[in-house]
Structure 1
Amino acid sequence: MGTNQIRMGRLIKVGMYLLSLWLLLVLIFVNKIDVDLCFDCKFANLRQLGAIASKNHMPLICVIVLLVSVGFYIAFIRIIEGAKNGPFKVIEIEDKTADHLVFLATYVIPLLSFNLDTLRQIVSLVITLLLIGAIYVRTNLFYANPTLSLLGFKICTVKFEQSGEGVPTGTAVLIAREDIDLDSRVNMLRLDKNIFFARKAIDIKT
């Protein structure tokens, strides 16, 4: 079967970028949350909740973005359910799981240097995130997502045995939840150009 249909739209790529920022958002939330802990207090009323929210703008924004990114992750999971094209035989493979760490170290960790104590610093962070996001979407880096790594996804680049019609040519990037080995046969779903979600094909012995 062919693998021509591209399934990752630009909006989903933006969502995957937000997903990649989970660690940054959690750390900002922890560093900036301003709530008095009280184990014997009653539940806060609406007025008190409003007062808490008014002095915790950044943590509140982080929570909202985290929830939105969860929605996009659910959409991504639904997209990759249809990996049925193939099977294709892997004849060359290179593990690229370390690309998760490269993205984390290059793009996410340096952003922690922003203090976010003034409006100027917050605006600078937002502009930086927008620029990185534009690069992320344009260059299809959605697969090099450190959050996906934490959720059990792996990356590799492969070449396939050219044994018939519809076999992807050249080098392909595979995202998978299981280890793909040399000579494995995989079913795939094209996410974008040379990027695929793959799962091992089930061999039926007769």
Structure 2
Amino acid sequence: MKDDWLIKVMLYVLSLWLLFVSLLIMSYDATLLTNVAEAVKQRDLNALCDDFNVKNLVFVVSALFILVGGLILWLLANSYRGGWSITCRVSDISDENHEHLEFLATYVMPLVFTDVESKRTVLNLALMIVAIGAIYVKTNKFYSNPSLAILGFKIFKATIHDRGEKQFVVICRGQLTDKSVIRYIRIDNNTCLAKLDK
């Protein structure tokens, strides 16, 4: 997974999980669910298409991305079961957890209260999500992930002593100190996922 843009895109989609949950709530329409049930019962999709609107599209896409986010979380959890480094010491640790809040406040919160009934606004929302994603991946800020923060992960900058010294952005569950011993897996040249070695 080293230097792989795919994992960065996956982490970006995961970072928008809260936005998609919010959009799902904002676009909820009981009529859509009734129409889906009727279309399934009568085996007639035309009836469903007649009443389908922009708000329903936002609901369906949000539900789909919430499921995709869950799948990404499962894939990431399983892909990191092996391949950990030998135990290493860390030093020069600085807390970077403000990155989660900055991403949430700067990119996610302004999109939360989008008018989901206007075609123009929804098109603008989609454009902003794609543009923010491109910036997110190109600037290697994929670790600024509110969803990971909710799951208990913290962000640190630290020097890892492993056959030399190199400074990394470290994503870790738990608190790193100058006495911590970790195992890690590189996500890219400057970022790694670490676990405290007990």
TM-score (norm 1): 0.81
Q: Does structure 2 retain, via aligned residues, the 8 Å contact 1:17–1:136?
A: yes
CA RMSD of aligned residues (A): 2.4
For residue 172 of structure 2, the aligned residue among 167, 173, 176 is: 176
Task: Using the TM superposition, give the Cα deviation of residue 8 of structure 1 relative to its aligned residue in structure 2, in angstroms.
Answer: 5.5
- Structure 1 residue ranges (4+ consecutive) displaced by more than 4 angstroms after TM superposition: 47-50
Query: Partner residue of 2:19?
Result: 24
Distance 1:83 1:106 in 2: 35
Task: Using the TM superposition, give the Cα deviation of residue 144 of structure 1 relative to its aligned residue in structure 2, in angstroms.
Answer: 0.9
Query: Partner residue of 2:10?
Result: 15
Task: Using the TM superposition, give the Cα deviation of residue 135 of structure 1 relative to its aligned residue in structure 2, in angstroms.
Answer: 0.7
Query: Partner residue of 1:112?
Result: 112
Q: Does structure 1 retain, via aligned residues, the 8 Å contact 2:91–2:177?
A: no
Q: Does structure 1 retain, via aligned residues, the 8 Å contact 2:26–2:116?
A: no
Query: Partner residue of 1:71?
Result: 71
Q: Does structure 2 retain, via aligned residues, the 8 Å contact 1:8–1:192?
A: yes
Distance 1:16 1:160 in 2: 23
- The answer to whether 1:195 aligns with 2:191 is yes
Q: Does structure 2 retain, via aligned residues, the 8 Å contact 1:83–1:199?
A: no
Q: 2:60 is paired with a residue of what secondary structure?
A: helix
Q: Which amino acid aligns with 1:125?
A: L
Q: Does structure 2 retain, via aligned residues, the 8 Å contact 1:173–1:195?
A: yes
Q: Does structure 2 retain, via aligned residues, the 8 Å contact 1:83–1:198?
A: no
Query: Partner residue of 1:91?
Result: 91
Task: Using the TM superposition, give the Cα deviation of residue 83 of structure 1 relative to its aligned residue in structure 2, in angstroms.
Answer: 5.0
Provide the aligned length of Structure 1 versus Structure 2.
188
Q: Where do 5+ consecutive residues of structure 2 fail to align? A: none
Query: Partner residue of 1:3?
Result: none
Flag the structure with higher helix content: 2
Distance 1:127 1:10 in 2: 20
Query: Partner residue of 1:54?
Result: 52
Distance 2:120 2:172 in 1: 41
Q: Does structure 1 retain, via aligned residues, the 8 Å contact 2:84–2:184?
A: yes
Q: Which amino acid aligns with 1:193?
A: N
Task: Using the TM superposition, give the Cα deviation of residue 81 of structure 1 relative to its aligned residue in structure 2, in angstroms.
Answer: 2.2
Q: Which amino acid aligns with 1:26?
A: V
Q: Does structure 2 retain, via aligned residues, the 8 Å contact 1:83–1:197?
A: no
Q: Does structure 2 retain, via aligned residues, the 8 Å contact 1:89–1:185?
A: yes
Q: More displaced, 102-111 or 64-73? A: 64-73
Q: Does structure 1 retain, via aligned residues, the 8 Å contact 2:100–2:145?
A: yes
